[in-house]
Every structure is written in C-alpha cells, then in structure tokens.
Amino acid sequence: MKKLLEKLYVTNTLAKDEIMYILSNINDSLENDLFRLANLTKKNHYGNKVYIRGLIEFSNFCKNTCKYCGLRCQNKNINRYRLMKNEILECCHRGYKLGIRTFVLQSGEDSYFHDELLVELTKEIKYLFNNTAVTFSIGEKSRTCYKKLYKAGADRYLLRQETVNKNLYQNMHPRMSLENRLRCLTNLLDIGYQTGSGFIVGLPGQTDEILAEDILFLKNNNFQMVGLGAFIPHPDTPLSSYNQGSLRKTLICVALVRLLLPKTLLPATTALAVISPDGWNKGIIAGANVIMLNLSPSSARENYEIYQGKNDVSDEAEISLQKVKNDLKNSGSQVDMGRGDYIGWNY
Ligand code: 5AD
C-alpha cells in the first residue's frame, strides 16, 4: 500500500485494480499518508489558496426523477419556485459586494428557462459584473444550447456523470440515459468550457469497483473541476430508508481525485459539511481547494432541498465567508476571492 501511494504521488496515475485495492484496504495510518500527499499535491499547484464561489439556486423545478434527489418531479412535498432575472441579478450583486467573482447558477432541469432567457441572463451578468466567471449547473441541454451560452460568455459548466456504470445509472435515473449524459459531457469539453463532473459516494448499489471506474472516468477526461459528496438520504425519495454515505470514504475519494488530477478545481462540498460539523475543513485537508457559499435568498434556499440537512449548514453568505476565513486559517489555507480558473486556462 505504501508503495502504491508513493507511485500515485509521483506519477498521478493508478490502474483500476489499484484504486479498488486502496478503497477496500486502506487503514487509518495510511489514510493520513494519503491525505498528506493529496494536500501536498494541491499545494504544489495552487499553494494554500482556497477559491470561493457564490451559488445561486434559481429554480427547483425539475423534469427528472433521479431517485436520490429531493427535487425530483414526483416529490409533491416541496414548494416549487423560480427566481426571476432581477432576483438572480440581485444575488449576484450581493455576492459581488462580498468580493465573489464566480457565480454558479444552478437549477433543476426546468424548461421555463429556455435558451434565449439563459443567454440574456449570461450576457447581463457578464456586462454588469466586471471580471466574473459564470458557471452553469443546469443539467442536460442540447449542444446548440451549450454553444449559445458559451458564446454569450458562460465560462464553466458542472454536470456530474453521477456514475458511468450502466446498471447503476439506469437504476438511479429512470427516464434518463447514460449515453446522453456522456454525450453532454463530450460536448461541453469540446465547446471549450472548463467542465466539471463527479459523483455521489455511497449510493445504494455502488461497489468499490464502480467507484474505481467513476474515478478513472474523471481522470481519463481530465476534467477541470470535480464535485464529490456523500449520499444523504432525502425523506421524500425512494431512497429515504438507505444509509448515508461514509465521510471517510468520501474523503478518500477526494484525496484520490486530487492525486490523479493534480490541477483540478475540487470543492469541499456542502454534502461534506452536512455529514460532519468540520466537513469543509476535512475536505480541504484531503485535497479540496474550492468552497461554495450560498447566495440564494433564504426563501429559495429552504426549498432547494436536494438532500436533507442542507439548509442547516448554509448560512447567509456574509456569515459563511467569515466562518470559512477563520476555519481555513487553522488549516494553513487562505481564501482567494479571484475568479479562480483552472491553472493555465486561457479564457
Ligand atoms: N445526496 C448527495 N448528493 C446528492 N445530489 C443529489 N441528491 C443527492 C443526495 N441525496 C447531488 C447530485 C447532483 C448534485 C447537484 O447534487 O450528484 O449532481
């Protein structure tokens, strides 16, 4: 195991069976080695900087039925909302005043926001807020739509693969297809977005082999961003009675991703903060270098419940930022309020 970790640190590669071996056999002391090497790798590229993003959850309408997600259209136990353009711009304004220079616009798959509306929104944000990056996280769209948004000024796009295992994908996403998911990711990379993908750790039916395949998928596509979080059951979904994903395993995956994709932008996700009071810091220590603060108005935030407990950890952005700054000092990191693009990226 020690040799394997060394090889991973030096070459930034692992074979599938090696990833599986680490996932199933790592013990507490070697786990600390893994985190140390991941943190070192991050520091070699990004120093002690942690980038801040502002998340705007602008609609919780969704046409999909992902079994793990509280926004699934079959959940009738949720107040659906949409933020109008002026409300979204208001969120940006608030974030901008705080110094935030990346806005992550996230929603369910909501056809109300048609291509032209999204184009207009993108142009307006880029016009009003100097030197900011716009990231979309709005699911599967046509290649034409991705192109239009890119041309309007969108910089980045987040679309987790969730899993590349066909059976698990199909089981978790009735009505959707892995083929289309992968096509969307290919299109995003090809158009020129800084593209992010990722998965949930601890989904029912997920094995270490599947995890290894999903980690390798990220490596093979060299994504500029990767999002990983533990599975958190939502009461109004078909997976309500399953166990939460493990913190330990999620952190191990974070560290492996850092070592395999040394330059990737890797958030300590809200899902980590939900399952552990010190989750953000733990993520940073395992190799993460991004934190997303929530800029959504509190009425919206309450209803954007992808998983349970999400609201309990998302303070007003002003308060979160102060907390994050303090917490990070203790782990030797420092907040960077810049756009925080992928290293060496020309935009
Ligand atoms: N637990 C953890 N993560 C979840 N997501 C959706 N539902 C859950 C859940 N119950 C993740 C998905 C999605 C991202 C926005 O949130 O991976 O891509």
Ranges of each domain in the chain: 14-307
What are the pLDDT digits (tens) for 214-252? 999 999 999 999 999 999 999 999 999 999 999 999 999
Pocket perturbation via mutation, ligand 1, pick of 307, 311, 313, 314 by most ligand atoms within 8 A of CB: 307
Cα 5 to middle of ligand 1, angstroms: 29
The per-residue pLDDT for 21 is 98
Q: Report the atom number in ligand 1 closest to the C-alpha of 199.
A: 17
pLDDT (average), residues 88-112:
98
Q: Report the atom number in ligand 1 closest to the C-alpha of 234.
A: 10
Instruction: Specify the residue with its C-alpha closest to ligand 1, atom 18.
Output: 160
For ligand 1, whether the C-beta of 231 sits within 6 Å is: yes
For ligand 1, whether the C-beta of 126 sits within 6 Å is: no
Q: Report the atom number in ligand 1 closest to the C-alpha of 237.
A: 10
Q: Is the pLDDT of residue 312 over 90?
A: no
Contact 216, 16 (CB under 8 A): yes
Phi, psi angle pair for 5, to nearest 5°: -65, -40
The per-residue pLDDT for 7 is 96
The per-residue pLDDT for 314 is 78
For ligand 1, whether the C-beta of 19 sits within 6 Å is: no
Pocket perturbation via mutation, ligand 1, pick of 56, 200, 250 by most ligand atoms within 8 A of CB: 200
User: Does 14-307 carry CATH code 3.20.20.80?
Assistant: no
Burial class of residue 314 (count of CB atoms within 10 Å of its CB; 0-12, 13-18, 19+): buried
pLDDT (average), residues 37-59:
97
Instruction: Specify the residue with its C-alpha closest to ligand 1, atom 3.
Output: 231
Question: Is this prediction's pTM over 0.75?
Answer: yes
Q: Report the atom number in ligand 1 closest to the C-alpha of 137.
A: 15
In this prediction, residue 116 has a pLDDT band, given cuts at 50, 70 and 90, of very high
Element housing 96 (H / E): helix 85-98
Cα 136 to middle of ligand 1, angstroms: 16
> Which of 291, 339, 316, 269 is CA-nearest to residue 102?
339
Contact 54, 101 (CB under 8 A): no
Cα 102 to middle of ligand 1, angstroms: 21
Instruction: Specify the residue with its C-alpha closest to ligand 1, atom 2.
Output: 231
